[in-house]
């Protein structure tokens, strides 16, 4: 088992029990206690747990990955504004990739309403695919893969292999966490791997992130800030972070609510 997989399992264990002990994890994963302590130290540095004497305890707010319904309800008007700004970047005939996420779902709903626009859309999101399934002007491609019920996203080897065989004009990427120094991250390592392959597939990578995503770090690394071309956010995003993103060559679009 790779270190990243082991750390993901530790986080999953802490979702069901309030505390873990080093000795128990060492026996479970068949690695030394020194290795487990190093894992816990790295997870604490990422804000995903709190180390204690002999083990660690969960930090619910840090390790929690909201459900899709919860995500949809948060900052809804900001997400709709970001989606409208993203729609302006799509030209007739484009080949685009829509990541799984509550803001990309809003973009899919706008594309559904704009039925005359001929597009090829690739997605790993079950709900995005459903929104676009009956739009005749859209050539819809699903990645397939292992479905995560919490986010309705397809991840894993099947999705990754599909993405590795594709090149698109624009990738519209969702993210749980955005830190100027640490880049884009997400709580699930399998989701992170699939997002990495999305980034590789795009001629242009456009991140859709409302202000709540800034200054946060999750377990799974997706890409550095320098791998993205544009960021669409809302006026609540930290101005200092936006300035630093521009310094690193990222075009920033601030989408105001109507």
Task: Give pLDDT, residue 68.
Answer: 64
Inform me whether the pLDDT recorded for 28 exceeds 50: yes
> Taking each helix axis from N to C terminus, what angle separates 33-45 and 3-14, rounded to the nearest 10 degrees?
70
Q: Which tens digits make up the pLDDT trace of 225-243?
A: 999 999 999 999 999 999 9
256 against 85, higher pLDDT? 85
Is 132:112 a contact under the CB 8 Å cutoff?
yes
**What pTM did the predictor assign?**
0.77
Residues whose CB is less than 8 angstroms from the CB of residue 258 and which lie 6 or more positions away in sequence, other chains included: 81
Once rounded to an integer, what is the mean pLDDT over residues 236-256?
96
Q: Dihedral, CA atoms, 111, 117, 121, 123, nearest 10 degrees?
A: 10
Secondary structure class of 144 (helix, strand, coil): coil
Inform me whether the pLDDT recorded for 189 exceeds 60: yes
Q: Which tens digits make up the pLDDT trace of 150-172?
A: 889 999 999 999 999 999 999 99
Quickly count helices (H) and strands (E) in the chain: 11, 15
Classify 68-254 by CATH class.
alpha beta
What distance in Å separates the CA atoms of residue 185 and residue 139, rounded to the nearest whole number? 30
CATH code linked to domain 3-63: 1.10.10.10
37 against 150, higher pLDDT? 37
Share of the chain above pLDDT 70, in %: 93
So where are the chain's domains? 3-63, 68-254
């Amino acid at each position: 088992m790779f270190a990243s997989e082991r750390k993901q399992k530790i986080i999953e264990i802490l979702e069901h029990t309030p505390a873990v002990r080093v000795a128990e994890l060492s026996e479970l994963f068949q690695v030394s206690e020194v290795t487990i302590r190093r894992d816990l130290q790295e997870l604490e540095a990422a804000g995903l747990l709190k180390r204690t004497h002999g083990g660690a305890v969960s930090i619910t707010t840090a390790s929690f990955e909201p459900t899709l319904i919860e995500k949809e309800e948060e900052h809804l008007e900001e997400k709709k504004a970001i989606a409208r700004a993203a729609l302006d970047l799509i030209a007739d005939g484009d080949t685009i990739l829509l990541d799984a996420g509550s803001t990309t779902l809003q973009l899919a709903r706008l594309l559904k309403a704009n039925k005359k626009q001929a597009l090829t859309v690739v997605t790993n999101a079950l709900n995005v695919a459903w929104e676009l399934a009956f739009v005749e002007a859209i050539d819809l491609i699903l990645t397939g893969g292992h479905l995560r019920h919490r986010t309705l996203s397809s991840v894993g080897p099947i999705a990754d292999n599909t993405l590795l065989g594709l090149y698109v004009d624009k990738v519209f990427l969702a993210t749980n966490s955005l830190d100027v120094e640490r880049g884009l991250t997400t709580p699930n390592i399998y989701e992170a791997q699939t997002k990495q392959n999305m980034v590789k597939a795009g001629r242009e990578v456009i991140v859709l992130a409302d202000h709540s995503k800034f200054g946060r770090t999750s377990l799974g690394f997706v890409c550095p800030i320098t791998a993205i071309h544009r960021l669409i956010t809302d006026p609540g995003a930290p101005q200092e972070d936006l300035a630093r993103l521009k310094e690193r060559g990222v075009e920033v679009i601030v989408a105001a609510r109507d």
